Amino acid sequence: MNTQLMNHDVHSPIFIRAKTSNDKPKAEPTKSSRSIDWRRIIELVLLLSVVAGAIYFISKLVTPQVVTVIGIFVGFLVVRFIVRTILRVTLTLLSILFWLAVLAAILLFVF
């Protein structure tokens, strides 16, 4: 911890002058909000291709029944994730609506 810096008044002219630099601010390139991050898309495609390749090689090593069981298990996990996400969003919206109704009822009784 820099105790010397803490003992100075940050509003004194010396402190303010020391903070400023003589460098001209560099113009930040403006990025449009609709630009596509190609690196992220390429990473996602590579990840999906690795997963698809792994599934293909595993399906060649094991019997079709094992592939079916693994598919059912993964499908269950995906459905569980989707349902949990939908329920979380729904319950959040319902709690907001509940507290808005409580606030409206309080305001109706007060006024």
Q: How far is CA 59 from CA 16, 43, 55, 85, 102, in A?
A: 67, 24, 6, 30, 56
- The per-residue b/e assignment along 84-96, b for 16 or more CB within 10 angstroms, e otherwise, is eeeeeeeeeeeee
Give, as one character, the DSSP assignment of residue 106: H
The overall pTM is greater than 0.85:
no
pLDDT tens-digit map of 52-105: 888 888 888 888 888 888 889 988 998 999 999 999 999 999 999 999 999 999
pLDDT tens-digit map of 90-102: 999 999 999 999 9
Overall size of the chain counted in residues: 111
Domain ranges of the chain: 63-111
- Helix ranges (H only) for the chain are 3-6, 13-19, 38-61, 64-110
Tell me if 9 sits within 8 A of 15, measured CB to CB: yes
